[in-house]
Amino acid sequence: MVLAEKLKQLRELEGELRGLRRPMTKAEVLRAMQAELGESISHAYLCQLESGARTHMSPATRSLLARFFKVLPGYLVGDPAEYQSAIVSDVAAEPDALRAWLTAGAEEMRDDIFLYHLLLRMARHPDPRRLFEALDKMLSQPAGPKYAASGHAKRSA
pLDDT along the chain (157 residues), means of 10: 86 90 94 96 94 88 91 77 57 61 84 87 86 88 62 48
In a domain, 20, yes or no: yes
Query: Is 65 found in the same domain as 104?
Result: no
In a domain, 62, yes or no: yes
Query: Rounded distance, CA 78 to CA 3, Å?
Result: 5
Q: What is the pLDDT of residue 23?
A: 93
Query: Is 48 found in the same domain as 108?
Result: no
Q: What is the pLDDT of residue 5?
A: 87
In a domain, 81, yes or no: no
Query: Is 122 found in the same domain as 94?
Result: yes
Q: What is the pLDDT of residue 48?
A: 94
In a domain, 108, yes or no: yes
Q: What is the pLDDT of residue 27?
A: 95
Query: Is 64 found in the same domain as 127?
Result: no
In a domain, 150, yes or no: no
> What SS3 class is residue 133?
helix
Q: Judge contact between 26 and 47, C-beta under 8 A.
A: yes
Query: Is 43 found in the same domain as 100?
Result: no
CATH number of 25's domain? 1.10.260.40
In a domain, 29, yes or no: yes
Query: Is 100 found in the same domain as 42?
Result: no
Query: Is 111 found in the same domain as 70?
Result: no
Q: What is the pLDDT of residue 146?
A: 57
* Burial class, 7, CB count within 10 angstroms (exposed 0-12 / middle 13-18 / buried 19+): buried
Query: Rounded distance, CA 27 to CA 96, Å?
Result: 46
Query: Is 28 found in the same domain as 66?
Result: yes
Among candidate residues 51, 75, 99, the one where a domain is terminated: 75
Phi, psi of 74 (to 5 degrees): -65, -20
User: For 16-55, what is each residue's pLDDT tens digit?
Assistant: 988 999 999 999 999 999 999 999 999 999 999 999 898 8
Query: Is 67 found in the same domain as 23?
Result: yes
Range of the domain at 114: 90-140
Query: Is 56 found in the same domain as 9?
Result: yes
In a domain, 83, yes or no: no
Query: Rounded distance, CA 87 to CA 148, Å?
Result: 44
Q: What is the pLDDT of residue 98?
A: 82
Question: Dihedral through CA 147, CA 153, CA 154, CA 155, nearest 10?
Answer: 160
Report which secondary-structure segment, H or E, holds 13.
helix 3-17
In a domain, 84, yes or no: no
